[in-house]
Amino acid sequence: MIYEITSLKNEWVKRAASLKQKKYRIREGLFLVEGRRAVSEARDSGWGIDCYFYTRLPEGWEEPAASATTYYHVTDAVFRKAADTEDPQGIGALVRMPEQKLQDFAPDKGLVLVLAGIQDPGNAGTLIRSADAMGAAGVVCLDGTVDLYNPKVVRSTMGSLFHLPVFTNVAVRELTDWAKAKKIPLWATALQGAEDVTKTTFPSCSALILGSEGNGVPDVLLAMADKKVKIPMFGHAESLNVAIAGSILLFAAAESSVKNKE
C-alpha cells in the first residue's frame, strides 16, 4: 500500500516525529531507523517493520505496490519533520521493538555485554557494533543507561542492532537473578582488585559489565561480580573512552573463545 503525504500537519507525520522522544517510543512500541543501510538491515533481519517512508526509493528496492507493508511517499519537508538527522538520506522506517525477555535468553557460549549507566549515545551504539563484530552473544542495557532505541544510538550501531539479541531497561536484580539461574558468571571492569585481562581466559559463556566513564561499574554490581578485570595501560593516559575499552575487552573475549576451540 502506498500513501502520499505532503502536509506537515498529517497525523502520521506527528506520530513519526514524536518517536524522537523516549516516552512516545515506549507508548507506541516503535522506533525510528534512517538511511539505506540501516533500513535494509532492519528489513532483512526479520524485525517487524510498521511502515517505510521515503522521498525516493533506493535502487533495487521492490515496488511498494507489491509489498504488504505500508509505504509513505513524502515530500522533503515531511521527511525532515519525521527524521532525526540534519541531512537525511530520503529513506526511513518505523520499526517495532522486539518483545524479548531476559529470563528467556539462554546463551550457551559467547560474551553477553552489559552496559551500566552509559549515557553517551555514540558510545552505546559503538559498543553494540563492536559486540556484533566480535561475535558477542547479546547486549543488556541496565536501567540508567541511554535508551537503546534513541535515534543516535540506532545510527551509531550501523545496523548491528539488528544482528544481536538486545535487552533494555533491565533492573540490576533482574540481571543478577538471570545470571544465577542460567549459571553465567558475572565479570566486571574495575581498577582495584582486578586481573589483567591479557592474562585471563574467559569462560565459554560470561556476562561482562561496563560502567560509565565517570562512575564506573556501580558498587552493588562490583560486589556481586565473580571476577573483576582491567586493561593494562603502558603509556601516560589514565583511562580509555568506554567504547574503546569495551571493544578491547570484546576482542579479548573473542580471542579466548578461539583459543578454547584449538
pTM score of the predicted model: 0.91
Q: What is the pLDDT of residue 66?
A: 65
* pLDDT at residue 104 in the model: 94
SS3 of residue 252 by DSSP? helix
Quote the mean pLDDT of the chain. 91
Q: What is the pLDDT of residue 262?
A: 46
Q: Which three cell numbers stand for residue 260?
A: 578454547
The predicted pLDDT at position 99 comes to 86
User: Rounded to an integer, what distance in angstroms lies between the CA atom of residue 186 and that of residue 207?
Assistant: 5
> Stretch 10-36: mean pLDDT, rounded?
95
Report the alpha-carbon distance of residue 208 to residue 195 in Å, rounded: 14
Tell me which CATH code domain 2-96 carries: 3.30.1330.30
Per-residue model confidence (pLDDT) at position 214: 81
Structural contact between residues 137 and 165, judged by C-beta atoms closer than 8 angstroms: yes
Does pLDDT of 61 surpass 90?
A: no
Per-residue pLDDT of 198-231, as tens digits, reads 999 999 999 999 998 788 899 999 999 999 999 9
Cα–Cα distances (Å) from 179 to 86, 116, 134, 166, 183, in that order, read 41, 15, 21, 15, 6
For residue 237, the model assigns a pLDDT of 86
Question: What's the mean pLDDT in 62-72?
Answer: 77
Of 90-94, 97-101, 178-182, 223-227, the one with minimum mean pLDDT is 97-101
Superfamily of domain 102-261: SPOUT methyltransferase, trefoil knot domain (3.40.1280.10)
Provide the residue ranges of all domains of the chain, joining segments of one domain with +: 2-96, 102-261
